[in-house]
Amino acid sequence: MTRRVSVVENILSANDRLAADNRARLDEARVFAINLMASPGAGKTSLITRTVEALRDRLRIGVVDGDLASTLDADRVAALGIPAVQVNTGGNCHLDAVMLQSALPQLPLEELDLLIVENVGNLVCPASFKLGVHKDVLIASVPEGDDKPYKYPPMYRGVDALVLNKIDVLGAFDFDVDYFRRGVEVLNPGLAFFPLSCKTGEGLSAWLDWVEGQVRSFKEQG
C-alpha cells in the first residue's frame, strides 16, 4: 500500500512540474487560461460557445477540447471561427499537464487573450491533475441534482468559480438551490457563483463580466 501511494505521489508531482511549465508559457504569451470541468452533459461546450459568441469581438479566444474520443466538440467550437485543438485522451478520464503541453504549440498563443480548456466530463479525476491554467471553473447543472457538493467535495473545494447551468428547468426538478449553496459554502466559502441558462441566456451577463474582468486584471498585471 505504501508503494502504491508513493507511485501516485510521484505521478502528481511530475504533473505539477509540467503544469508550472504550462503556466510559464501562458504567462510569457500573456494568455489568460480557464479550465472548465463538469460531469458529462452539464453544458461545458454550450457555455464555451455562448462565451465565444458574446466576447469574440472584444477578446481573442482559443479553445482546447479534451474528450475520450471524436472531434465533435472542437469542430463545434471551430465553426465559430476561432482556433480550436482537440485532445483525445485515449480512455483517460481527465486532461493532464502533458496533454495541455502538447496542445499549446498548435495554437497561435501570441494572438490570443483568453484560452478556454474544456476538460473531460468527470467529477473525480480532473480535480487531482493541475494543468497550469489561471482559474479552474466547475459547471454544475440542475438535472444532476442538488447533492453533488456533498458527494464530490474535492471537486467543489478546489475551484475558483462555480456555474450552475440549466436554471431554466428548475421548476421541473426537485433541486433545492439553498441546500446546494450550503454544501458549496462549507467547502469553498465565498466562491464566485453564476446561476445561468445557456439555452435562454438568463444569468449569462454576470458570467461574461467575470471572465472579461479576469482577463483584464491579468493583462494589467503585466
pLDDT in tens, 116-175: 999 999 999 888 899 999 999 999 999 999 999 999 999 999 899 999 999 999 999 999
Instruction: Report the pLDDT averaged over residues 68-88.
Output: 85
Q: Is the pTM of this model over 0.75?
A: yes
pLDDT of residue 10: 65
pLDDT at 9 over 80: no
Q: Cα–Cα distance between 83 and 186 in angstroms, integer?
A: 38
pLDDT at 7 over 50: no
pLDDT at 74 over 90: no
Instruction: Report the pLDDT averaged over residues 39-60.
Output: 96
Q: Cα–Cα distance between 135 and 169 in angstroms, integer?
A: 28
Q: Cα–Cα distance between 206 and 90 in angstroms, integer?
A: 36
Instruction: Report the pLDDT averaged over residues 180-208.
Output: 98
pLDDT of residue 73: 76
Total number of domains constituting the chain: 1
Judged by DSSP in three states, 48 sits in: helix
Which helix (H) or strand (E) segment holds residue 77: the answer is helix 72-78
Quote the longest CA-to-CA distance of the chain: 53
pLDDT at 3 over 60: no
Q: Cα–Cα distance between 49 and 184 in angstroms, integer?
A: 26
C-alpha 145: how far from chain center: 20
Which CATH number does the domain housing residue 60 bear? 3.40.50.300
For residue 166, give its domain range.
2-221
Instruction: Report the pLDDT averaged over residues 190-206.
Output: 98
pLDDT at 217 over 90: yes
